[in-house]
Amino acid sequence: MSDSKAVVLVPGKIHPRVLERFEGKVEVIKAPAGPEPSLSADDAQRITAVAVSGGFNARWMDALPNLEVIANFGVGYDGVDVKHAASRGIIVSNTPDVLNDEVADTTIALLINTVRRLYEAEKHLRDGKWLSEGPFALSPFSLRGRKVGLFGMGRIGQEIAKRLEPFKVEIGYHTRSRKSELSYTYYGSLKEMAEAVDVLICIVPGTPATHKAINADILAALGSNGVFINVGRGSSVDEDALLTALQDGTLGAAGLDVFYEEPKVPEGFLSLPNVTLLPHVASASVPTRNAMADLVADNVLGWLSERKVVTPVAETPVKG
């Protein structure tokens, strides 16, 4: 970098550790997040990098004529218009791997809690009902003898599968293509897998191909003994169909960490006894979020100083 500091845009909120890492190294310009850019023409000209947690569309990119790199906070980057970035030669990076273990751990916890209703059992104790009303009701489901299908078998999906092995469940998966190095059962379609398993874990990114892929037909195929877990993207689920299936017994239970229009959660889910709800916390631990923040900073600073990005996404070219 030259003697004058490079200028980095931070639209909306981002993990404070990112800003700490930038301090003294770059000039940071903050702006409100939103669909339309809100910057002075002078600032827009000076910005060469963006650190973002959330969406960043083509209008923002086109407002920044000298933009070179966008560092996304999160492994999923569907909020960034990567196609448009690629057309302009802008590098996009994300934060893979550093959150794999945390998300996989949370997925297993969410599955067990959904099957055994542990939150409701603890509430029964805390509310004094164990003393006044007697033991908590037997959980209607168990993890014993289950067949688990993973919709998505990327790095996080593989970590989830490894954690499932000691539970003595059968494991299968559906992705666009078979992964020959894996010993798990491969299903050629999501419907085929839903018919064969009784636990379905969704860990796919939000793309047009996965949009509302978990629909009424898939849920019906999973069945009344079936359990659905979503730690991927809320956009992958038809929430109206899921709510109906849980209400009428078409589906046995669900555990959800993500929703279609976060932080809004459909009201109908809140009163159901057969659904466990988390506020998108799969990677939400201090160590993991710090590691994600460090990777965002490393991607920005690496590009500005050495024209190197640690974790570029596949769709955008790496120059230098």
What is the set of active-site residues?
A: 233, 262, 280
Q: Tell me whether residue 185 is exposed, middle or buried, using C-beta atoms within 10 angstroms of its C-beta: 0 to 12, 13 to 18, 19 or more.
A: middle
Q: How far apart are CA 176 and CA 13, in angstroms?
A: 34
Our measurement of the distance from residue 111's CA atom to the centroid of its chain's CA atoms, rounded to an integer in Å, reads: 16
Tokens describing residue 149: 């299908």
With CA atoms as reference, report the closest residue to 10 among 40, 34, 31.
31
Is the bond into 32 cis (omega within 30 degrees of 0)?
Answer: no
Q: How far apart are CA 117 and CA 134, in angstroms?
A: 17
Q: Are 250 and 243 in contact, with CB atoms under 8 Å apart?
A: no
Determine if residue 212 is left, alpha or beta; phi over 0 gives left, psi from -120 to 50 gives alpha, anything else beta.
Answer: left
Tokens describing residue 248: 């009428």
Q: Are 233 and 226 in contact, with CB atoms under 8 Å apart?
A: no
Tokens describing residue 265: 């959660």
